[in-house]
Amino acid sequence: MVRTISQIETDKGQDELRRADYFPTLVYSALLHDAEDMNREILAAIRAEQARDQKGIERSNFRSLGGWHSHNNLHKDPAFKRLTQRVEAMASGISADLGYDRNRQLEVTTMWSISNPPGSSNRAHIHPGALWSGVYYVQAPEGAGQIEFIDPRIVNLMNSATFQPKKKRNTECWTKVKVKPVAGKMLFFPSWLYHSVEPNLAKQSGPDGERIIIS
Ligand SMILES: [Fe+2]
């Protein structure tokens, strides 16, 4: 979409300055209306999985810092069916928004859970083999680590303009984006977008202090 930004004054009239935004990085979000009920159900399913598989696997989590990562096929477990359906419904919304072929459907191909107790975090990574990735927050105590998206336009980081001090930059001029975790919130982003998770600084100890997500 090309839009007019301003009229530039010249000696004998005005020139119209227009702008088009190409190559955007899209992050979709949604807050589930039945989050409380959903999270009770999903948390119980995660706890059952943790009891069954205490060691978990190591991916972006640091097992040495206590981060637990489940296996990658939770979407095949009936206990996670309700959430999987909601993710796929949301993915349909994204498909429609972007004009994807209506005869094809985005589907969940891998799904896992990560628990970050206070002090633990997740390394920067991408998700090869997928089109879209997402996170659903099951439990997010105050201070739980924010997800950070890293500007994929590496060339853009070679030089930077000087911005007006004390003025919040326009979102299109950000070079990193942090999103605060909120229980019941879903985020969707392109699988090629590098992301990491800050350390969980929650004050609570024990199970209530864990940052728990489904990816
Ligand atoms: Fe990820």
What is the phi/psi pair of residue 128, to 5°? -60, 145
CA of 70 to the centre of ligand 1 (A): 13
Distance 207 CA to ligand 1 centre (A): 22
Calculate how far, in angstroms, residue 189's C-alpha sits from the geometric centre of ligand 1.
10
φ/ψ (deg, to 5) at 14? -125, 145
Looking at residue 156, what is its pLDDT? 86
Domain that holds residue 51: 23-153+172-214
The alpha carbon of 189 is separated from its chain's Cα centroid by a whole number of angstroms, namely 6
For residue 177, how far is its CA from the centre of ligand 1 (angstroms)?
15
Phi first, then psi, for residue 22 (nearest 5°) are -105, 160
Read off the DSSP letter of residue 11: T
With the CA atoms of 150, 117, 211 and 41 taken in that order, what torsion angle do they form, in degrees rounded to the nearest 10? 140
The CATH number given to whatever domain includes residue 61 is 2.60.120.620
Q: Please answer whether residues 6 and 17 qualify as being in contact, where contact means their C-beta atoms are separated by less than 8 angstroms.
A: yes
Q: How far does residue 51's CA lie from ligand 1's centre (Å)? A: 23
Cβ count near 206 (within 10 Å): 8
pTM: 0.95
Q: How far is the CA of 58 from the centre of ligand 1 (A)?
A: 13
Is 4 a member of any domain? no
- Mean pLDDT, the chain cut into blocks of 10 residues (215 residues total): 96 97 96 98 98 96 95 98 98 98 97 98 97 98 98 91 95 95 98 98 96 98
* Residue 161 forms part of a structural domain: no
Residue 65 lies inside a defined structural domain of this protein: yes
Distance 167 CA to ligand 1 centre (A): 31
Domain count, the chain: 1
**pLDDT given for residue 157 in this prediction:** 87
**In a domain? residue 158:** no
Handedness of CA 39, 53, 131, 22 (dihedral sign): positive
Ligand 1 center from residue 195 Cα (angstroms): 6
